[in-house]
Amino acid sequence: MTTRAEAIKALEASHVLQNYKRHPVVFVRGSGSRLVDTDGREYVDLLSGIGVASLGHAPGELAAALTAQAGELLHTSNLFFHPLQGEVAERLARLSGLPRAFFCNSGTEAVEACLKFARRYWRTRGANERHEIVAFEGAFHGRTFGSLSVTAGEPYRAPFAPLVPGVRFVSPTDPGQVRDAVGERTAAVIVEPIQGEGGVRPVPGATAAAIAEACAATGTLLITDEIQCGLGRTGRPFHGAALGLTPDLIPVGKSLGGGFPVAAALMSEAIAAAVAFGDHGSTYGGNLLACRAALVFLEALGNGLVERVAAAGRRLRQGLDALVADSGAIHEVRGDGLMQGLEVDQEVADRAVDCALARGLVINRTAGTVIRLLPPLNISDEDIDEGLRRLRLALDDAGAALRAA
């Protein structure tokens, strides 16, 4: 007899584009930081759908708000005034200091919008030659052509070349390269305050200072990509502020909808003033359901969630540091708050995710040798401790499997 999981996998194998190598588990429900698969097995989720399920799984307040909104009005397009966009934009403005928002559906679209608005800013000023972008080695900003063009990894880029021209990549650990690259032809510098896909790598303070200096000296715009590390994830509304960065544009996404697809490009008044009617748009961007979800998340963020992440992040980090001391498998822990990465050997990384799943734990491997943890922002102390316990077992299992191989 075919099980439900087997039937699901077979149907996908026949009809879904095979661009994701999926792990062999089918989650069917969840609650808080726990997920349940087709066999009724429960998992501690330290990944939250790659930093998206910010309020945990099946959060009551989000489900209720979306249900109520769906019963009232789902979508009217951006051709008409909107009962909720102003409210979401105003809350994001209070958090970020950037007074205007453009709404879209995903991180890559938010980055795309930031790149277009940066170019538009200079073009409006008659400085058409300022179209270059400075980006960083190790960066990940998305997979559409503009954001792919500022994404560093060759495996992402090579199959789709040629990309958008005029992008210069510099080392995130060499402030001198930043100073040399930014000049009178640069429209914007784009940086993740903590590189996510690139292996949970915080921007070093000296590089952040060089970015701030170079942008100030040349009038270059600064885009801090907070899609993964922002909106509370590190125990601050935005992580760029912790590095002394004052961006002109911030793309946000992931956590914003708690699982509902919504993203935004936040911008200064000067940039907003350069964008004319019809310059850019999105059919779905920030529709009523999306904005309702964002309001629920932003309400939670303003009601103690940021502070809770800071405390939870300290607990997680202490547990990880203890794990480093006890286990020979981890070489380094990097990150901040509830965004943590563990550097391990390639052979351990190859086995870690499957060993974790076997122990009832959801984690992720990125950049080859990094185990990434991005739990729900409201994860409980108990689930952090249980997640750490299972992680320890999974790493032991990975080590044992390696020795047996």
Ligand X SMILES: Cc1ncc(COP(=O)(O)O)c(C=O)c1O
The residues that touch ligand X, with contacts defined as CB under 6 A, are 106-108, 111, 140-142, 192, 196-197, 225, 227-228, 253
Q: Which residue minimizes CB distance to ligand X?
A: 107
In the complex, the smallest distance separating the C-beta of residue 148 from ligand X, rounded to whole angstroms, is: 10
Question: Would you say 142 or 313 has its CB closer to ligand X?
Answer: 142
State both tokens at 99.
């007074």
Question: Would you say 34 or 287 has its CB closer to ligand X?
Answer: 287
Residues 62, 114, 104: CA angle, nearest 5 degrees: 30
Residues 255, 259, 264: CA angle, nearest 5 degrees: 50
Cα atoms in the 13 Å half-sphere on the side-chain side of 336: 23
**Complete edge-to-edge strand list for the sheet that includes strand 364-366:** 330-336, 339-344, 370-373, 364-366
Say whether 254 is catalytic.
yes
Question: Would you say 256 or 291 has its CB closer to ligand X?
Answer: 256
In the complex, the smallest distance separating the C-beta of residue 160 from ligand X, rounded to whole angstroms, is: 15
In the complex, the smallest distance separating the C-beta of residue 400 from ligand X, rounded to whole angstroms, is: 32
Q: For residue 69, which of 257, 256, 262, 289 has the smallest C-alpha distance?
A: 289
Tokens 């584009």 sit on residue: 17
State both tokens at 32.
């808080």
Say whether 9 is catalytic.
no
Say whether 116 is catalytic.
no
Question: Would you say 191 or 309 has its CB closer to ligand X?
Answer: 191
In the complex, the smallest distance separating the C-beta of residue 203 from ligand X, rounded to whole angstroms, is: 12
Catalytic residue among 102, 238, 254, 297, which?
Answer: 254
Mode of pairing for the β-strands spanning 263-267 and 249-252: antiparallel
Cα torsion angle, 95, 294, 302, 388, sign: negative
Query: Which residues have a Cβ under 8 Å from the Cβ of 259 and sit 6 or more positions away?
Result: 49, 52, 53, 54, 55, 57, 62, 293
Query: Which residues have a Cβ under 8 Å from the Cβ of 339 and sit 6 or more positions away?
Result: 51, 194, 196, 200, 228, 229, 233, 234, 373, 374
In the complex, the smallest distance separating the C-beta of residue 221 from ligand X, rounded to whole angstroms, is: 17
Catalytic residue among 102, 136, 140, 297, which?
Answer: 140
Tokens 């989650």 sit on residue: 27
Question: Would you say 239 or 351 has its CB closer to ligand X?
Answer: 239
Question: Would you say 223 or 352 has its CB closer to ligand X?
Answer: 223
Catalytic residue among 225, 248, 336, 383, which?
Answer: 225
State both tokens at 242.
């912790």
- Is residue 335 exposed (0-12), middle (13-18) or buried (19+ Cβ within 10 Å)? buried
Question: Would you say 197 or 383 has its CB closer to ligand X?
Answer: 197
In the complex, the smallest distance separating the C-beta of residue 338 from ligand X, rounded to whole angstroms, is: 14
In the complex, the smallest distance separating the C-beta of residue 156 from ligand X, rounded to whole angstroms, is: 11
Active site residues: 140, 225, 254
